[in-house]
Amino acid sequence: MARPYSPLAIANEFIVRCPHGDGIEHMKLQKLVYCANGWWLVFYPAAPLVNEAPQVWKFGPVFPSLYRVLKVYGSSAIKYAQSRSPFDAPDRVDEADEETLKLIQWTWRRYGHLSSFALSDMTHKEGTAWRRAAVEHNFRVPEGLDIPWGYIAQEFRGIYESESERHPA
Give the amino acid at 49. Answer: L
How far CA 57 is from CA of 24, 27, 65, 73, in Å, comes to: 20, 11, 13, 18
**pLDDT value of position 18:** 85
CB atoms within 10 A of CB 5: 26
Q: Model-level pTM?
A: 0.94
**What residue spans of 18-148 are helical by DSSP H?**
26-43, 64-70, 98-111, 116-124, 129-136
Distance CA 125, CA 24 (A): 23
> pLDDT (tens digit, 9 = 90+) per residue, 104-147?
999 999 999 999 999 999 999 999 999 999 999 998 999 999 99
User: Domains of the chain: which residue ranges?
Assistant: 7-166
Contacts of residue 18, defined as CB under 8 A and 6 or more positions apart, other chains included, come to 24, 79, 112
C-alpha torsion 5→80→42→57, nearest 10:
90
Is the Cα torsion angle 81, 64, 95, 15 positive or negative in sign?
A: negative
> pLDDT (tens digit, 9 = 90+) per residue, 10-20?
999 999 988 77
At residue 169 the predicted structure's pLDDT band, cuts being 50, 70 and 90, is low
Q: Answer yes or no: are the C-beta atoms of 34 and 130 closer than 8 Å.
A: no
> pLDDT (tens digit, 9 = 90+) per residue, 81-109?
999 999 999 999 999 999 999 999 999 99
